[in-house]
Amino acid sequence: MSEGETKPKGSGWLNVAVDYGPLLVFLGVYRWFAPEVAEPIGELAAVIKGTMAFMVAAVVALAVSKWRLGKVSPMLWFSTALIVGFGALTVFFGDPTFVQLKPTIIYCVFGIALLVGVWRGEGEGRGHEAHRQHDREQAEDAQPQHLRARADQVRRDRQQRGDGSRGQAERE
């Protein structure tokens, strides 16, 4: 896009369509081709046809996201790569196990990412000690001198008691 152009503004329904459209296409095609009576060959054919439609719909969703929203989220890139990769394996080998692995892999990757974030100390919210210390420093900088002296006295009193209970000065 040139400097003068603005990126198209996304709408809520379009984001939902891009995220869930391919899955709905898969389910619709699978349901359309699923046999009335449960038979392995018919079920497998329905899964393969649904998977091929899923792959095409995922690539279309990727293109629509770039075209209409002006960007493609990392989640959509990752999901589309897994859909096309494992979908191709499903079609090539005629084994639905590959396409069934896709959600498991996505959940594992996101779970690991969340655990790494917690391990590194990110995402612990406002309760994290570093955030509390930062908040105290900002509050102290904003206080007039007489209030800062009073807050320091309350802190010293609290530390001397050692029980963390609120004293009379703090309740006032």
Mean pLDDT for 98-103 is 86
How many other C-beta atoms can be found within 10 angstroms of the C-beta atom of residue 172?
Answer: 7
The token duo for 21 is: 């459209």
Report d(CA 8, CA 77) in Å as an integer. 19
Q: How is the chain split into domains, by residue range? A: 12-106, 125-164
Q: Which of 23-27, 67-71, 86-90, 159-163 has the least mean pLDDT? A: 159-163
Report d(CA 160, CA 157) in Å as an integer. 5
Q: Write out pLDDT tens, residues 35-59.
A: 988 888 999 999 999 999 999 999 9
pTM for the whole thing?
0.59
The token duo for 31 is: 């349901």
